[in-house]
Amino acid sequence: MGYLGEIFVMAMTAIFIQNFVLARFLGLCPYLGVSKKLDSAIGMGMAVIFVMTLASAITFLINKYLLIPYNIMYLQTIAFILTIASLVQFVEMVIQKNAPALYKSLGVFLPLITTNCAVLGVAILNTTAFRSDSVTPYNFLDSILNGFFSGVGFTVVLVAMAGLRMRMDKADLPKSMKGMPIALIIAGIMALAFYGFMGFQI
Amino acid sequence: MFILLQTTTISLSAIGLPVLIIGALGLIFGLILAVASKVFAVEIDPRVEEIIEVLPGANCGACGQAGCAGYAEQIVNGGEAIDKCAPGGSDVVAQIAQIMGMEASSSDRKVAVIHCSSGGHENTNWKYQYEGVETCKAAANVAGGPNSCSWGCMGLNDCMRACIFDAISIDSNGMRLIDLEKCTGCGACVKACPRALIDLVPINRNVYIKCSSKDKGVEARQVCGSLHPCIGCGICAKKCPVDAISIQNNLASIDYEKCINCGLCASACPTKSILDLLVGTRKQAEINPEGCIGCTICAKVCPVQAISGELKKIHEVDKAKCIGCELCVPKCPKKVIEMV
């Protein structure tokens, strides 16, 4: 299998088979919190893709050149959270200064994902992940791509959920089911549907 | 002794190295962020926050922005006019003007007026009995609405639900009453009414055309349940001393920029479709002969030529002609005209 095939497998795995929200159950808070409107769901999704890709790159370097050589892998969580939070803060400042338009659409969501467990999740999983031959660990480019595709997977699910919930608002539901209860039921059914992807052999 | 020392050094390095690395990491990131916050500092105008404090916070959207914060931002950075906040009224305009260092432009408070006299249980002709979703928007789409008049009020209270200030109430006949004290002129009901029956009128204008029918006179008479339709006859337009009324598509409308509140149109209307809140309460002008210097200014401003008198002689008001519009009162240089 060539490298393109490898990327395809990685994308399918990150988006559908091992989706961060519906298969790994990470990042549930924004999944339920920011999925009320399609616009904000798309904004949040873009912000997550952006942060996950950047965080994957930086944390890979921190892991490889700092944590492994000094044999302090057990501090991974602290080091990664520190890195991700600082990175997001930094990026937020840069965007606010240089791209006000982007800041307006993305900015509100950036602080929300500084400590999003999906972002930390992808950083940690990158350090233990293997390519499809189950031998080669992820290199720098693999990590970035995996971060990107995981973000895309998050966005796909979030936007789908927002679409469903906007339709649910119009539906004639029993009063006790309106809002969060039906959202949780929808989330459960979506997770079951995504469970079907687990049987795929790529 | 030696063994003890060795274990101490080992544990020291086992603790010290991670502390050093993580500490250094934190320090570096902290320094980067500190530098970045200086380099990429964006100045936020403190006036924006001050204006947000002053605005009512109802987020009603009358100003055309998404909410109060958006309006404040637009005032400071977008050059938006400061008198667009309807709920805040002149108080808020004055406060914003102070923050922005501008002169307060006078913004007349406006209130909502429903231009229809039907819509209740007893004064509406029905085409069919509507039993659907209880909103005007839905009802208007079923065979052109349940009431015979396709311009009039359907009485399903979309305007009342749109009002966040509880200014609209319902009387025993099912008619909507607008409380002029509570109405802020935000325009939410104007947008909510699918028949566009409501518009905003300056609060100091008290003569309203209570019909929106563009049907021809005969038809309007037939379908109107309240028997007060505008038939577009044009008598009011002819009676108006200041030409404030125009007839378009069989419907009279008052230009409140010109209207002087005299109420002549209301008394002339053959179908009584013009409502005059001041009827019976108008006073008439009287010139105090002691102060009058005969400048003729009052005679010139009088729209109905009720004031007569020669130059430099004492003027008199013809009580039979005076309509109580009060136009002459502020114009008198000696302030000797009183309303009695």
Render pLDDT for A151-190 as a digit per residue (tens, 0 to 9). 999 999 999 999 999 888 888 888 888 888 999 999 999 9
Whole domain around residue B269: which residue ranges?
206-280
Asked if B22 and A82 come within 8 Å (Cβ–Cβ), the reply is: yes
- CATH number (domain holding residue B288): 3.30.70.20
Instruction: Give the pLDDT score at B7.
Output: 54
- Does the structure show a pLDDT above 50 at A76? yes
Which tokens in the block code for residue A128? 């233990």
CA distance, residue A145 to nearest chain B CA (Å)? 25
Q: Residue B301 corresponds to which tokens in the numbers above? A: 């401003």
Select the residue from B13, B20, B42 to test the A interface by mutation, using most A Cβ atoms within 10 A: B42
Domain count for chain B, please give it. 4
User: What's residue B209's pLDDT?
Assistant: 92
| Burial class, B48, CB count within 10 angstroms (exposed 0-12 / middle 13-18 / buried 19+) | middle
Within a domain: residue B149?
Answer: yes
Is B114 in the same domain as B128?
yes
Check residue B100 and give its pLDDT. Answer: 83
Q: Which residues of A touch B33 (CB under 8 A)?
A: 86, 89-90, 93
Q: Are residues A70 and B32, on separate chains, in Cβ contact within 8 Å?
A: no
In angstroms, rounded to a whole number, what is the distance separating the alpha carbons of residues B321 and B261? 15
Amino acid letter at B108? D
Residue B50, Ramachandran bin (φ over 0: left; ψ between -120 and 50: alpha; else beta) = alpha
Q: What is the structure's pLDDT at A108? A: 64
CATH number, domain of B53, equals 1.10.15.40
Tell me chain A's radius of gyration from C-alpha atoms.
Answer: 18
pLDDT in tens, A19-65: 888 988 888 888 888 888 888 788 888 888 988 999 999 999 999 99
Q: What is the pLDDT of residue B1?
A: 47
Determine the longest span between alpha carbons in chain A, in angstroms.
60
Across B213-223, average pLDDT: 89
B78 touches A at CB < 8 Å: no
CB pairs under 8 A between A and B: 43
Where helices occur in chain B by DSSP H, the ranges are 2-39, 46-54, 68-77, 89-100, 136-140, 158-162, 188-192, 217-223, 235-239, 264-268, 297-301, 328-331
The mean per-residue pLDDT over the stretch B222-250 comes to 90
- Domain-ending residue, one of B237, B256, B280: B280
> Residue A86: its chain B contacts at CB < 8 A?
29-30, 32-33
> Torsions phi, psi of A160, nearest 5?
-60, -45
Is B31 at the interface with chain A, CB within 8 A? no
Compute the nearest-CA separation of B72 from chain A (Å): 16
A179: left (phi over 0), alpha (psi -120 to 50) or beta: left
Output the pLDDT for position A163: 92
The model's confidence at residue B35, banded by pLDDT at 50, 70 and 90, is: very high
* Contact (Cβ atoms closer than 8 angstroms) between residue B212 and residue B196: yes
Percentage of chain A modeled with pLDDT above 70: 97
**Where is A185: in which H helix or E strand?**
helix A180-195
What's the start-to-end Cα distance of chain B, in Å? Answer: 114
Say if the Cβ atoms of A78 and B32 lie within 8 Å: no
Question: Are residue B246 and residue B173 in the same domain, yes or no?
Answer: no
Which is nearest to A60 in space by CA: A140, A169, A178?
Answer: A140
Distance (Å, rounded) from C-alpha B253 to C-alpha B261?
14
Please say which residue of B204, B237, B253 terminates a domain.
B204
Contact A90 B41 (CB under 8 A): no
Residues of A in contact with B21 (CB under 8 A): 66, 70, 72, 75
B42 touches chain A (CB under 8 A): yes
One-letter amino acid for residue B321 of the chain: K
Decide if B154 contacts B147 (C-beta within 8 A): yes
**Helix runs in B177-231, H state only:** 188-192, 217-223
Amino acid at B266: A
Closest CA to B287 of B306, B268, B311, B260: B306
Does the distance separating the beta carbons of A72 and B18 come in below 8 Å? yes
Do B269 and B305 lie in one domain? The reply is no
CA distance A103 to B6: 55
Instruction: Report the C-alpha gap between B269 and B244 in whole angstroms.
Output: 15
Domain boundary among B177, B204, B231: B204
Q: What is the rounded average pLDDT for all residues in chain B?
A: 85
φ, ψ of residue B104 to 5 degrees: the values are -75, 120
List, for residues B156-202, the tens digit of each pLDDT value: 999 998 888 888 999 888 899 998 888 888 888 998 999 999 999 98
Provide the 8-state DSSP code for B251. E
Contact check, Cβ <8 Å, B33/A89: yes
Position A1 scores a pLDDT of: 62
Is residue B250 a contact partner of residue B217, using CB atoms and an 8 Å limit?
yes
Longest CA–CA separation in chain B, Å: 127
Model confidence at A106: pLDDT above 70? no
Residue B78 domain-assigned (yes or no):
yes
Cβ contact, residue pair B41, A97, below 8 Å: yes
When CB atoms are compared, the residue of B26, B32, B42 closest to A90 is B32
Check: complex ipTM more than 0.90: no
Residues of A in contact with B30 (CB under 8 A): 86
| B276 & B290 share domain | no
Q: How far is A54 from chain B (nearest CA, A)?
A: 15
Quote the CA–CA distance of A44 and A21 in Å, as a whole number. 14
CA-closest candidate to residue B155, choices B164, B146, B142, B163: B146
Output A100-106 pairs: Cβ under 8 A, ≥24 positions apart: A105/A43, A105/A46, A106/A43, A106/A46, A106/A47, A106/A50
